[in-house]
């Protein structure tokens, strides 16, 4: 039996991963971007398209954080239903955000096509599966709200649902035709390759140690060098490190772990998400389910698996797989990994402009592929023209999140207890 190891599947499945040397000495650029994930790389490509010089400074390597450890669902919208987004932000601002993020999957696929990125993408939608009657009612409401806005969604029930999902355990499923899946590390790597080919300076293993205003712009400092730039984008989201940035105080950290099986084949396996969609269920402590390009079953849920022993992770994965797909029999689990999520109390992202020429984004709440791609492009367009109409939502004036460490610890403890209950078959 293969040994379950702590390793990120997307790293193993991305043969062409760029590696970048540390920043050494002084450099100049029109714009310095902190973070080489979806947001920073999308911003860089938009700036380069306009002829601006760009320097990207990454604390580790491309895709190290939430971008490379993502589930890889190319989702439309936010976790919050569109009517609720408008209640929180107001009718006009909420409509703008709903439209922008509703169209964000198309932007991701446009990037993949334009830059020739091989990230094993699928474009057949995603399936949000109802685990009980309340979940089905929620999906009906979401479908109605999005269809009222002209989006292409469908609620599957009965045999249509079972055939699409490959399980009898979902009472219904919201099929969002706008969405899809990617290998997130391959997507991030492809964006980085495209950016450097177009002239971006990209430096890895260079955590930022300071950010200071100068007479003509900003100085971004690292241990061995610095970048002088007229403008700066902070694009590190939940992986912002150090005390130089206030952005991290507006989120609290959450975690999401995943477990991948060995590649599956045969008629039983072929019926699991046979249309290529990624999926997740309506449980408060949700389970995500997808297949990768090699046929692996990839399961995930909220929680920090770095704190779980491997036997616990294997038992949890066995429990979820046997519940949804008993026809698969006993599975061999290959690897497990954890990523960090930037949560906000209202589950909506935050954009900031702390000072002229300095912008930032955070709080993607687990929807980084589409949100990061859209926000990076939007922040770049704002810096190019200083037109707030380029932004998907107004800059935030929210107060920092209180008791951030306690919130994170409380959430993670609750997730751990729930997963223990799943393993003991007390809950599911």
> Would you say residue 172 lies in a domain?
no
The per-residue pLDDT for 426 is: 78
> Would you say residue 288 lies in a domain?
no
Element (H, E) at 102: helix 91-102
> Would you say residue 183 lies in a domain?
yes
Q: Which domain holds residue 247?
A: 8-123+178-251+345-397
**Nearest C-alpha neighbor of 303 from the set 175, 408, 398, 169:** 408
As for how many domains the chain has, the answer is: 1
> Would you say residue 72 lies in a domain?
yes
**Nearest C-alpha neighbor of 291 from the set 315, 274, 313, 306:** 274
DSSP 122: B
The per-residue pLDDT for 243 is: 67
CA gap 323, 261 in Å, rounded? 16
> Would you say residue 53 lies in a domain?
yes
* 191 and 45 Cβ atoms separated by less than 8 Å: yes
Residues in the chain: 428
> Would you say residue 257 lies in a domain?
no
Q: How far apart are the first and last CA of the chain?
A: 27
Q: What rounded mean pLDDT belongs to the chain?
A: 95
> Would you say residue 61 lies in a domain?
yes
The per-residue pLDDT for 62 is: 97
Give the global pTM.
0.97
The per-residue pLDDT for 221 is: 97
Is 214 in a helix, a strand, or coil? strand
- What stretches in the chain show pLDDT beneath 50? none
CATH number at residue 58: 3.50.50.60
CA gap 41, 57 in Å, rounded? 11
User: What pairs with residue 220 in β-bridges?
Assistant: 211, 227
CA gap 111, 373 in Å, rounded? 9
Sign of CA dihedral 70, 76, 80, 85: positive
Q: At what angle do helices 368-385 and 104-114 cross, to 10 degrees?
A: 80
> Would you say residue 147 lies in a domain?
no
């Amino acid at each position: 039996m293969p040994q379950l190891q702590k390793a990120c599947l997307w790293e193993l499945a991305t043969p062409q991963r760029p590696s970048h040397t540390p920043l050494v000495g002084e450099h100049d650029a029109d714009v310095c971007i902190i973070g080489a994930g979806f947001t920073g790389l999308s911003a860089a490509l938009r700036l380069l398209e306009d002829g601006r010089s760009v320097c990207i400074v990454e604390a580790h390597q491309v895709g190290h954080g939430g971008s490379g450890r993502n589930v890889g669902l190319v989702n439309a919208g936010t976790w919050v239903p569109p009517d609720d987004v408008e209640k929180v932000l107001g009718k006009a601002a909420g409509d703008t955000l709903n439209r922008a993020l509703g169209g964000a999957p198309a932007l991701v696929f446009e990037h993949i096509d334009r830059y020739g990125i091989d990230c094993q993408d699928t474009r057949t939608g995603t399936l949000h599966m109802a685990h009980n009657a309340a979940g089905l009612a929620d999906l009906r409401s979401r479908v109605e709200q999005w269809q009222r806005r002209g989006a292409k969604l469908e609620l599957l029930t009965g045999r249509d649902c079972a055939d699409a999902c490959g399980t009898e355990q979902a009472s219904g499923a919201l099929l969002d035709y706008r969405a899809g899946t990617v290998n997130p590390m391959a997507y991030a790597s492809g964006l980085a390759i495209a950016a450097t080919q177009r002239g971006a300076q990209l430096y890895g293993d260079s955590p930022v140690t300071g950010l200071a205003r100068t007479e003509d712009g900003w100085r971004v400092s690292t241990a061995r060098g610095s970048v002088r730039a007229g403008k700066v984008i902070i694009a590190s989201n939940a992986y912002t490190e150090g005390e130089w940035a206030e952005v991290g105080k507006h989120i609290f950290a959450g975690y999401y772990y995943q477990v991948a099986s060995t590649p599956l084949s045969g008629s039983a396996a072929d019926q699991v998400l046979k249309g290529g969609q990624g999926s997740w269920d309506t449980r408060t402590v949700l389970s995500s389910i997808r297949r990768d390009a090699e046929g692996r079953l990839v399961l995930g849920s909220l929680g920090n698996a770095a704190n779980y022993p491997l036997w616990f992770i294997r038992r949890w994965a066995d429990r979820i797989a046997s519940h949804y797909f008993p026809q698969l029999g006993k599975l061999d689990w290959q690897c497990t990994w954890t990523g960090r999520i930037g949560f906000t109390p209202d589950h909506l992202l935050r954009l900031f402009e702390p000072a002229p020429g300095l912008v930032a984004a955070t709080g993607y709440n687990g929807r980084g592929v589409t949100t990061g791609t859209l926000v990076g492009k939007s922040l770049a367009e704002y810096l190019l023209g200083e037109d707030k109409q380029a932004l998907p939502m107004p800059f935030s004036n929210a107060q920092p999140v209180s008791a951030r460490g306690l919130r994170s610890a409380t959430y993670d403890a609750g997730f751990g207890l729930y997963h223990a209950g799943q393993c003991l078959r007390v809950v599911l």
